[in-house]
Structure 1
């Protein structure tokens, strides 16, 4: 009897003891800015499950700290970097052009005017990869650590090269593959209903919108070739051999952790190794710091608004900042504005300027009424998670398309930075979203859809990273189509063969009929 009790106790202990995950050894090659913010959230989750993390950064790193409790670092010595000054220059020039341009000139600037900037950025990233692989001590250090996986953000192109050099399985924390939306590189993408970035199209396009979509698709490929492909190809050939094709290397990741989902994005064809983790950084709101809680509680029944233009926009032209502050001063709501520039002269008593704010916690607060946002992926998905309507002021890159997806579903209002300070457009947009219930109702509906999942986006992402480590890759999920030349993928050679065969058959039938007719006519002539 005593033995039975002991066996039962041991069995119960095994059942109740949580399973220990065997920790992996992960090399991380991140991007700077807001991309690092969401990558760091993934790293903290990996660390909590017992994985060892090593982050490769430059000595001029802007966001990525050299020391952190959840990762160690390898620091690469470089001469130049995509740092705060580089980004500030791009942002200020782009913002000035945006405010003074016409739609056509803005389109041309977005399509071609930024090519030099992008090329310089890719050259910096290529130099970073070269500096790492040229450093024999760092290469030996990486080889000695016997990593199980390389995790990278492919908005820049160095990660795939480093993974191939060290023979590591590759996982992408991805939304943009260099300058293209990641789906376009590996998944079937009918341009008839899949909008290209910067097109301003939804998935319901008129004929001329489809024409525009096709033109932009072709232009995006030309941009990639001009701005980046040859830069990374040279790095590939130097370290991986002359037979290495960078494009094939770039799309050969084992798992693509895509920072979107089909509540936010438009439904489209996908692939087995694309794992959706849209909103992975979102979580229930925590209590606010006391000074912020006191401020939002003082708003009474009117509630409060928050405004943030992201990590890259630290300040605005003085006239625009004053216009925004003057608009906020006319509202009965309290406003928390993340802004690092000089205090606007027109700032009202209802507006609090902060260098940083707990955005997710503010968006989850019961008194939140509206989010004024630039349209970055992180902020838009947090607004969707908490069901907060948005007034969007897109500035660069994918921001217009992000807000458009919410506006198309009735949860946001879009303003142009070029016209928001004219005719009280900013005030009218805020008042419309605050007073028209459909905006909040639509966002609440999207929030319910987004949260209704069998597993959280973060747990899904963690499972697939651990899957790759357990199985040394995920080659069985990679479609053969990505290794085929374009003419084979689209069956152009097959179509030409079939057309040729049909023409040959028709010619043969025609020739036989002609011969038959000639023979009949000849026989008839002899009888006559």
Structure 2
């Protein structure tokens, strides 16, 4: 039931960790501040994550039903995973766009969101930047909105002459790279003419003509144009310089109060006992092969004597490990961590080896940790090149595998050069000064719709 009094504030998020986690942190901060009539709509498996926010006013959960496996990377078959993580930046981009365009179950998810919106009649909606059904619901009902983006601002604005999203190209491009960038942009536009996508384009146009969709939904910049505020979880210096509309706010990493998990078994004691730790966290989506798992074990073995290694490796991939008695003594493997943020905050952690996801990249830097990045897919390459250009990280030569010599060499180079740590600590200060969740909550609560 909706409370009498102020109309609800509704947060809507896809279930994917990358877009869900910043909004979960924001919801908890709004609850701590006593925000009344606060709702969070997401897929049913996210209920527990939302309902455990029990501080302040609390957050009520509105279920959007089951996760659509078409949109859930952890549920993709191996062939889909291969297509979207392949070496060709263009083909991977195309696979992602085709996967999301006109996906089965999209209308059902749209109907679920619209049913929640119609019941709650929110004063303001906050939703993630890949959530087109939430955008359509806000457009249809003329509800003010705030856009949440874990991606670089340029990925939303796509200014001409700038590196196109998902290319992994630097700001200062060579002639060849400029040509590649222009061809990539051209092909992205022409992709809508492919028969597999043109059908969906024509169907969308037809629905607009019938009044089933607002005309504004046809614009590629609809989510930015409609939003009153756009929250981006980075800072300039990591993002390249570019003009942004006044509605854009670069608030830095979204970090909750720590520690998140003070009772973490003996993990803190293990970190305390090892003065130099390399933390390996390649995200929830990465699928390592047997050879890649064995290569990472060899990297840890070569680091033995100087550095310990903490590796978060899912259970289903631990079957690829050598026998336990053949693992190096400096290697600790966990299938799950009570809090990755608590690990990154620990002073013993000196380097973060990650997949380049927007949250991981910025969270590591928030705690001043230099990085080595093995980009997984699409936007991970964009974060990786900005890490190199800002002096906080190196990128592996071939993200399609784990080359022992390359990974070991990159890790020892970053650990051995003070400049990487100094630059990471500089951006730690920048990210903290941006305000993170405090600034984001201030902006939301200052919206005229909540007055």
Change (3 A) 1:172 1:154: same
Unaligned runs of 5+ in 1: 1-21, 473-528
Q: Which one of the candidate residues 331, 335, 344 is aligned to 2:303?
A: 331
Once residues 201 and 27 of structure 2 are traced to their aligned partners in structure 1, the CA distance between those partners, rounded to angstroms, is: 29
Is 1:38 matched up with 2:22? yes
User: C-alpha offsets along residues 282-307 of structure 1, whole Å, 9 cap, x if unaligned?
Assistant: 666676735012211232x4x11111
1:411–1:282 distance in 2 versus 1, CA, 3 Å: farther
3-state secondary structure, aligned to 1:214: helix
> 441, 459, 470: which is aligned to 2:422?
441
Conservation of the 8 A alpha-carbon contact between 2:140 and 2:213: no
Flag the structure with more relative contact order, 1 or 2, with Cα contacts below 8 A and sequence separation at least 6: 2
Q: Distance in 2 between matches of 1:390 and 1:382?
A: 11
Aligned to 1:267: 241
Alignment partners' CA distance in 1, 2:175 and 2:370: 31
Map of 2:372 onto structure 1: 391
Deviations 1:271-328 (A, max 9, x none): 01111122132666676735012211232x4x11111111223x42112111112221
Q: Which moved more, 1:166-175 or 1:62-71?
A: 62-71
Instruction: Summarize the alignment of residues 101-120 of structure 1 with structure 2, pairs less than 5 Å apart.
Output: 106-119=88-101
For residues 475-520 of structure 1, give each alpha carbon's deviation from its aligned partner in whole angstroms, at most 9, with x where no partner exists: xxxxxxxxxxxxxxxxxxxxxxxxxxxxxxxxxxxxxxxxxxxxxx
Residue matched to 1:375 = 356
What does the per-residue CA deviation read over 1:192-221, in whole Å, with 9 as the maximum and x for residues that have no partner?
xx2212323222122332222222223334
8 Å contact from structure 1 (residues 165, 239) kept in 2? no
| Deviations 1:25-73, CA, capped at 9 Å, x for gaps | 2122201122111210011111112222222234xx4434374433222
Secondary structure at 2:372's aligned position in 1? strand
In structure 2, list runs of 5 or more residues that go unmatched. none
TM-score (norm 1): 0.71
2:137 is aligned, of 157, 162, 172, to 162
Conservation of the 8 A alpha-carbon contact between 1:200 and 1:400: yes
Q: Contact 2:138–2:144 (CA<8 Å) still a contact in 1?
A: yes
Distance 2:391 2:214 in 1: 51
Match for residue 180 of structure 2 among 206, 212, 228: 212
Aligned partners of 1:154, 1:230: CA distance in 2, in Å? 23
Alignment equivalent of 2:218, drawn from 229, 241, 246: 246
RMSD, aligned α-carbons: 3.2
Deviation (angstroms), 1:463: 2.2
Judge conservation of contact 2:13–2:127 (CA < 8 Å) in 1: yes
> Which of structures 1 and 2 has the bigger CA Rg?
1
Are the structure 2 counterparts of residues 167 and 409 from structure 1 closer, same or farther at C-alpha, using a change threshold of 3 Å? closer
The alpha-carbon distance between structure 1 residues 355 and 173, as it changes in their structure 2 partners (threshold 3 A), is: same
Q: Could you tell me how far apart the structure 2 residues matched to 1:393 and 1:438 are? A: 20
Q: Residues 388, 348 of structure 1: CA spacing in aligned structure 2 closer, same or farther, 3 A cutoff?
A: same
2:63 is aligned to 75
1:304 aligned to which of 270, 277, 282 = 277
Q: State the shift of 1:471 in Å.
A: 6.7
CA distance in 1 between partners of 2:334 and 2:209 (Å):
48
CA distance 1:208–1:30, shift in 2 (3 Å): same
Residue 230 of structure 1: how far off its partner (Å): 5.4
User: Any conservation in 1 of the 2:38–2:59 contact (CA below 8 Å)?
Assistant: yes
Q: 1:354 to 1:389 in 2, by over 3 A?
A: same
**TM-score w.r.t. length of structure 2:** 0.83
Task: Tell me the SS of whatever aligns to 1:54.
Answer: strand
Alignment of 1:442-481 (within 5 A): 442-453=423-434, 456-470=435-449
CA distance in 2, matches of 1:363, 1:242: 44
Q: Distance in 2 between matches of 1:339 and 1:116?
A: 30
**Equivalent residue of 2:309, what SS?**
strand
Q: Which residue of 2 aligns with 1:347?
A: 327
The answer on 1:414 being equivalent to 2:395 is yes
Instruction: Measure the CA separation in 1 of the matches of 2:377 and 2:359.
Output: 15
| Residue 517 of structure 1: aligned partner | none
Distance 1:419 1:256, change over 3 A: closer
Residues 185-264 of structure 1 correspond to what in structure 2 (within 5 A)?
189-191=159-161, 194-223=162-191, 240=212, 243=215, 245-247=217-219, 249-250=222-223, 251-264=225-238
Residues 366, 230 of structure 1: alpha-carbon distance in 2 compared, 3 angstrom cutoff: farther
For residue 427 of structure 1, the aligned residue among 408, 432, 436 is 408
- Residue matched to 2:79: 93
Contact map agreement 1:23 1:50 (CA 8 A) in 2: no
After superposition, give the CA deviation of every residue in 1:55-95 in whole Å (9 maximum; x if it has no partner): 2234xx443437443322233456x71479x4235474366
Q: 1:115 to 1:462 in 2, by over 3 A?
A: closer
CA distance in structure 2 between the partners assigned to 1:449 and 1:168 by the alignment: 33
